[in-house]
């Protein structure tokens, strides 16, 4: 319990008798499970500059991320925590190199969030944890390309205009030999491929001439950093030009023939976007990053198969509470460790780390899918409590993802994205929001899609089926969203401060107004 001994003289450590704790049982008895809002008074003291509150270390950064209540969370970051976080990641990198040895022969195409978003009253910068992971700098200093294999200069990601940023990303990436594409969310890989189609004509000219046709919306300091890095690539210009002339997709795999694979999340609601990747990156293997958050790295992915990883026992202290027990009686639940999980069961995750969050309910649900020797393999399912439930049906992200993915396949109906909300009519009804890939859809096709949405959600959520059959829920509606709805929503969230690489497509809307704000083109019922 070295972590607790180090923190025994902190405010939190003294309040909870850390000096008297000898083993895990003592720790569990003295320290109750807490949610972020329970830690918030301590963290606010740290934000204001007070030291030795939750941890004894000097805080040099706060990772800011979205909270379930709408208010952002501030996670204390310091050198000891970063060492703890990185320890299992080194093992993961070894597995990456073992399965994708060809990646070292070229560049990595990734998306970053390098912006320091602000300074706390105590004088500590905050932003995405990727800022702290890549090395600290002043707020006015441009980020350095410390990795050495990055296809896109990090300064590109400081550009605010969304389309300008993605054009720059593609302009630099298409002049390089990209051997790996890595973004946390698979939706970002889909977006990059779609932007490649949109920007193809501009890229032909710029790649042929080694230029950038428009420097508008790019601040002078960033422009000065980027100008000397532009290169010509006539061969890729020719490939793009040929695809345009033949009226076909510009395939990323054609532009980057040495691409060995893709890295992105594969659990939760990712499968819908993974299916879309097939048309852009055919036959490319995908490896999961693992179950990660600003609060810690909880799993270690060993191979490209599946979306699971081994519990990262070498980093933080990780406990598990059965999901059903966590919903009814979290504090009195008997916590389990990584060798005690039951295959096929779901659990809430409780984490302790050097950041000072002790027995922290991270509000995530994972499923045990098997074992690696004596350590459980887990897969992220959804956020705890991230559900719609009008009359006890408890519709979660995973239900919606599986249902709508099945609809897309059964109806041969391409979607750029989807979401679900509730209309509180009498009786209430669910509303499926979909953005079709095609802007021309026949009435019969739309009605088949609406019917399939209802049927598939009943298939994947038996409680929803029971409520529909008992008429406690009315037949659902279908909202056809305007073209570009999800891309605009993504841009809005990034502009309002969400880290670019961490923006997850939102599937569940408690308020119908929020769905309507995406832009509804047609209503069907």
Closest CA to 316 of 8, 84, 29: 84
Please report which confidence band the pLDDT of residue 230 belongs to, taking 50, 70 and 90 as the band edges.
very high
DSSP character for 336? B
Query: Which tokens belong to 10?
Result: 């902190």
Query: What pLDDT, in 10s, does the model give residues 452-492?
Result: 999 999 998 888 887 888 777 889 999 999 999 999 998 88
174-202 in b/e form (b: 16+ CB < 10 A) is: bbbebbbbbbbbbbbbbbbbbbbeebbeb
- Give mean pLDDT, residues 373-378: 97
Residue 91 domain-assigned? no
Residue 93 domain-assigned? no
Please report which confidence band the pLDDT of residue 445 belongs to, taking 50, 70 and 90 as the band edges.
very high
Residue 92 domain-assigned? no
- Name the percent of the chain lying above pLDDT 70: 96
Beta carbons within 8 Å of 341's beta carbon, 6+ residues apart = 320, 347, 368, 376, 378
Please report which confidence band the pLDDT of residue 176 belongs to, taking 50, 70 and 90 as the band edges.
very high
Query: What pLDDT, in 10s, does the model give residues 302-354?
Result: 999 989 999 999 889 999 999 888 877 778 889 999 999 999 999 999 999 99
Distance CA(344)–CA(187), nearest Å, equals 27
Residue 70: predicted pLDDT: 46
Query: Which tokens belong to 233?
Result: 């690539």
Backbone φ and ψ for 382, nearest 5 degrees, come out as: -170, 170
User: Does 117 share its domain with 214?
Assistant: yes
Closest CA to 273 of 10, 14, 503: 503
Residue 327: predicted pLDDT: 73
Distance CA(80)–CA(53), nearest Å, equals 16
User: Does 373 share its domain with 413?
Assistant: no
User: Does 253 share its domain with 127?
Assistant: yes
- Give mean pLDDT, residues 248-262: 97
pTM of the shown model: 0.80
- Give mean pLDDT, residues 34-51: 96
In angstroms, the Cα distances linking 463 to 328, 418, 457, 468 are 18, 21, 10, 9
Residue 79: predicted pLDDT: 94
User: Does 510 share its domain with 495?
Assistant: yes
Residue 453: predicted pLDDT: 97
How many beta carbons lie within 10 A of that of residue 279, not counting itself?
Answer: 12
Closest CA to 281 of 306, 249, 243: 249
Residue 178 domain-assigned? yes
Radius of gyration of the chain measured on its C-alpha atoms: 24
Query: What pLDDT, in 10s, does the model give residues 84-113?
Result: 999 888 899 999 999 999 999 999 999 988
Domain final position from 341, 365, 383: 383
Query: Which tokens belong to 481?
Result: 């969203």
User: Does 257 share its domain with 116?
Assistant: yes
Look at residue 112 and give its three-state secondary structure: coil
User: Does 106 share its domain with 244?
Assistant: yes
Per-position DSSP letters for 306-318, written without gaps between them = SS-EEE-TTSSEE
Q: At residue 504, does pLDDT exceed 70?
A: yes
Residue 137: predicted pLDDT: 63
Q: At residue 136, does pLDDT exceed 70?
A: no
How many angstroms from the chain centroid is the CA of residue 164?
A: 22
User: Does 61 share its domain with 206?
Assistant: no
Q: Look at the chain and report how many structural domains it folds into.
A: 3
User: Does 181 share its domain with 57?
Assistant: no
User: Does 396 share its domain with 376?
Assistant: no
With 0-12 / 13-18 / 19 or more C-beta atoms within 10 angstroms meaning exposed / middle / buried, residue 469 is exposed
Query: What pLDDT, in 10s, does the model give residues 124-135?
Result: 999 888 888 877
Domain final position from 218, 253, 284: 284
Distance CA(389)–CA(398), nearest Å, equals 14
Bridge partners (DSSP) of residue 392 are none
Residue 370: predicted pLDDT: 97
Please report which confidence band the pLDDT of residue 196 belongs to, taking 50, 70 and 90 as the band edges.
very high
> Which residue is it, tokens 């909202």?
479
User: Does 207 share its domain with 278?
Assistant: yes
Beta carbons within 8 Å of 158's beta carbon, 6+ residues apart = 114, 115, 142, 143, 219, 222
How many angstroms from the chain centroid is the CA of residue 194?
A: 19
Distance CA(186)–CA(280), nearest Å, equals 12
**Backbone CA torsion sign across 78, 80, 84, 90:** positive
Please report which confidence band the pLDDT of residue 68 belongs to, taking 50, 70 and 90 as the band edges.
very low
Residue 262: predicted pLDDT: 97
Q: At residue 423, does pLDDT exceed 80?
A: yes
Residue 71: predicted pLDDT: 67
Domain final position from 257, 284, 311: 284
Distance CA(449)–CA(194), nearest Å, equals 24
Average pLDDT, rounded, for the chain: 91
User: Does 372 share its domain with 479?
Assistant: no
Write out the residue range of the structural domain in which residue 73 sits. Answer: 2-81+290-383
Residue 139 domain-assigned? yes
Q: Please, are residues 286 and 266 in contact by the beta-carbon 8 Å criterion?
A: yes
Task: Say how many residues make up the chain.
Answer: 525
User: Does 244 share its domain with 134?
Assistant: yes
Residue 411 domain-assigned? yes
Residue 90 domain-assigned? no
Bridge partners (DSSP) of residue 347 are 322, 366
Residue 142 domain-assigned? yes
Q: At residue 69, does pLDDT exceed 60?
A: no
Query: Which tokens belong to 175?
Result: 């002049």
């Amino acid at each position: 319990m070295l972590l607790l001994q180090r923190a025994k003289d902190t405010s939190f450590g003294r309040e909870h008798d850390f000096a008297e704790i000898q083993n895990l049982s003592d720790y569990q008895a003295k320290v109750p499970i807490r949610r972020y809002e329970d830690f918030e008074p301590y963290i606010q003291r740290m934000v204001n500059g007070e030291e030795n509150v939750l941890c004894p270390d000097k805080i040099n950064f706060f990772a800011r991320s979205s909270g379930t209540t709408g208010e952002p969370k501030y996670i204390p970051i310091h050198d000891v925590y970063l060492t703890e976080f990185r320890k299992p990641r080194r093992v993961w990198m070894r597995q990456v190199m073992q399965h994708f040895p060809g990646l070292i022969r070229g560049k990595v195409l990734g998306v970053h969030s390098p912006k320091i978003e602000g300074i706390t009253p105590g004088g500590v910068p905050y932003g995405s944890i990727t800022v702290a992971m890549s090395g600290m700098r002043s707020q006015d200093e441009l980020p350095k390309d410390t990795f050495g294999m990055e296809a896109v200069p990090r300064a590109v990601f400081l550009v605010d205009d969304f389309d300008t940023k993605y054009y720059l990303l593609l302009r630099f990436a298409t002049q390089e030999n990209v051997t790996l594409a890595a973004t946390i969310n698979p939706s970002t890989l889909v977006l990059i491929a779609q932007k490649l189609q949109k920007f193809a004509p501009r890229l032909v000219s710029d790649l042929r001439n080694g230029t950038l046709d428009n420097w508008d919306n790019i601040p002078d300091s960033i422009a000065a950093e980027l100008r000397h890095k532009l290169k010509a690539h006539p061969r890729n210009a020719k490939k793009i030009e040929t695809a345009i002339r033949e009226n076909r997709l510009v395939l990323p795999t054609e532009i980057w023939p040495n691409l060995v694979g893709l890295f992105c999340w594969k659990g939760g609601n990712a499968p819908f976007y993974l299916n879309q990747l097939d048309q852009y990156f055919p036959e490319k293997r995908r490896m999961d990053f693992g179950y990660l958050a600003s609060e810690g790295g909880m799993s270690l992915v060993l191979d490209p198969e599946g979306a699971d990883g081994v519990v990262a026992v070498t980093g933080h202290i990780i406990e598990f509470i059965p999901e059903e027990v966590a919903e009814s009686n979290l504090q009195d639940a008997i916590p389990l460790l990584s060798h005690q999980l039951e295959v096929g069961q779901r659990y809430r995750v409780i984490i302790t780390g050097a950041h000072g969050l002790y027995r922290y309910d991270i509000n995530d649900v994972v499923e045990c899918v098997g074992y690696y020797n004596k350590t459980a393999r887990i897969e992220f399912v959804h956020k705890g409590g991230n559900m719609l439930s009008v009359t006890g049906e408890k519709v979660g992200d995973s239900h919606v993802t599986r249902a709508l993915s099945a609809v897309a396949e059964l109806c041969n109906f391409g979607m750029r994205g989807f979401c679900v909300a509730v209309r509180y009519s009498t009786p209430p009804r669910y509303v499926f929001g979909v953005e079709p890939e095609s802007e021309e859809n026949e009435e019969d096709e739309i009605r088949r899609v609406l019917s399939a949405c209802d049927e598939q959600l009943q298939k994947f959520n038996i409680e929803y089926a029971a409520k529909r059959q008992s008429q406690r829920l009315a037949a659902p509606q279908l909202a056809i969203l305007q073209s570009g709805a999800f891309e605009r929503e993504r841009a809005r969230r990034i502009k309002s401060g969400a880290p670019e690489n961490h923006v997850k497509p939102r599937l569940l809307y408690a308020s119908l107004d929020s769905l309507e704000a995406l832009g509804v083109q047609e209503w069907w019922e």
